[in-house]
Amino acid sequence: MTGNAAVLNGKAVKLPKSQLPRTKKTVKPTQNQQLRRSIGNDNLTLNGNRTSSNEASDAAYRSELIAIIDDLQVADRELNSAYQELQQKLSRLDFGSNEIKQHLIHAQRAWIKYRDREAQSESHLSSGKKDKLQSALDAKARLTEERAKLLQRALRDEELVPEDDQIDGAVSNYERSLRLEEKLKKTENELNQVYQQLKNVITSRRSSMEGQEIVTDLKKAQHAWRNFRDKESLFRSDSTWGGSMQGRLMLAAEIALTRERIQTLRQEIELWDLM
């Protein structure tokens, strides 16, 4: 007998949907909630990063993990709130609403992939009291908090592209675009140099097999970041949607994001030098 049938006078009768018994919906816990609940287990795993049974049974270690996960959950809530509010705000625009909302959605999805790849890459920076799991969670919480703050700035209509990366002055629009393209090219060259330097540092401090694994994770993070940068630059240029400045503002956003990435990779080089 199927779930939508009942027995009446010895015969099976199909019930209308309105009379079917209601089943309680189960809410699937998030990855952070699942991880928090499993802290008492002998083994904890996140993105392939596993703790040892001795670590997982240590009260101090569990307490530290819970604190990091709690920070991540707070940042997640702030990010989700800002993201939803921003979508609602964009829906009320007089023009370009659907296009700009799509730019935000694509940028956000690309950012999530970048955040997770970057957290996995930064997990290899674990040293001292922190293991790979803690380092990955720390990175994920930091990146989530930074993203939440940026979307909150967008809600307040603050400029998302630094003025330093915009070309002003008594020059034509064409000349401004050329200057921005040249500036982006130089910034890209600097990024490639720093990126290669980081790969060299990694391979010089780890065995061949381990070094290649770490470099592979770095490459995945870098690829995800480039995809995010392209989509994020388009979203950040939407403050002048449809105007003549949008193309230049998009170039300026690419420059700003590339500079941020250079700074991140330089910091990782410094950390590798300390290990």
Per the domain annotation, does 22 fall within a domain? no
Q: Which two tokens stand for residue 272?
A: 């590798």
pLDDT per position as a tens digit, 102-142: 999 999 999 999 999 999 999 999 865 678 999 999 999 99
pLDDT per position as a tens digit, 174-223: 888 888 999 999 999 999 999 999 999 999 999 889 999 999 999 999 99
Per the domain annotation, does 74 fall within a domain? yes
Q: What is the chain's alpha carbon radius of gyration, rounded to the nearest angstrom?
A: 24
Domain range for 274: 172-275
Which pLDDT score is estimated for 58? 75
End-of-domain residue from the set 124, 158, 192: 158
Whether 232 contacts 253, CB under 8 Å: yes
Q: For position 241, which CATH number holds?
A: 1.20.1270
| Reported confidence tier of residue 160, pLDDT bands at 50, 70, 90 | confident
**Do residues 244 and 128 both lie within one domain?**
no
Return the closest-CA partner of residue 268 out of 221, 207, 226. 221
**Do residues 212 and 152 both lie within one domain?**
no
Q: Is the pLDDT of residue 241 over 70?
A: no
Whether 204 contacts 198, CB under 8 Å: no
| CA atoms of 11 and 9, how far apart (whole Å) | 6
**In the chain, what is the straight-line distance between the N-terminal and C-terminal CA atoms, in Å?**
65
Q: How many domains, the chain?
A: 2
**Do residues 125 and 195 both lie within one domain?**
no
**DSSP symbol at 174:** H
Checking 261-266 for CB contacts under 8 A at 24+ apart, the result is 261/191, 261/225, 261/229, 262/187, 262/190, 262/191, 262/194, 265/191, 265/194, 265/195, 265/198, 266/194
Per the domain annotation, does 20 fall within a domain? no
Which pLDDT score is estimated for 231? 97
Question: For 56-60, 151-155, 167-171, which range has the lowest pLDDT when averaged over its residues?
Answer: 167-171
| CA atoms of 222 and 44, how far apart (whole Å) | 27
